[in-house]
Amino acid sequence: MTRWRGVLFDLDGTLADTVDLILQSFLYTMEEHLGEAPPAARFLETIGMPLPVQLREFARSETERTAMLETYVTYQRSVHDGMVRAFPGAVQVMRALRATGTPVGIVTSKGHRIGRRTLEVCALHEHVDFVVFGDEVERGKPDPEPVLRAMNALGLREEPEAVVFVGDSPHDLRAGKAAGTRTAAVSWGPLERSVLEAESPDFFLDRMEDVLSIRPPLAQS
Active site residue 10: yes
Q: Are 147 and 176 in contact (CB under 8 A)?
A: yes
Q: Are 171 and 142 in contact (CB under 8 A)?
A: yes
The b/e string for 46-77 (b: 16+ C-beta within 10 A; e otherwise) is bbbbbbbbbbeebbeeeeebebbbebbbebbe
Q: Are 40 and 23 in contact (CB under 8 A)?
A: yes
Angstrom distances, CA of residue 117 to CA of 11, 27, 189 = 12, 22, 20
* Sheet strands side by side (includes 203-205): 130-132, 104-107, 6-9, 163-167, 182-186, 203-205
CA torsion through residues 192, 173, 20, 43, sign:
negative
- The catalytically annotated residue of 10, 12, 17, 168 is 10
CA-based nearest residue to 106, from 79, 133, 67:
133
Q: Which residues have a catalytic role annotated?
A: 10
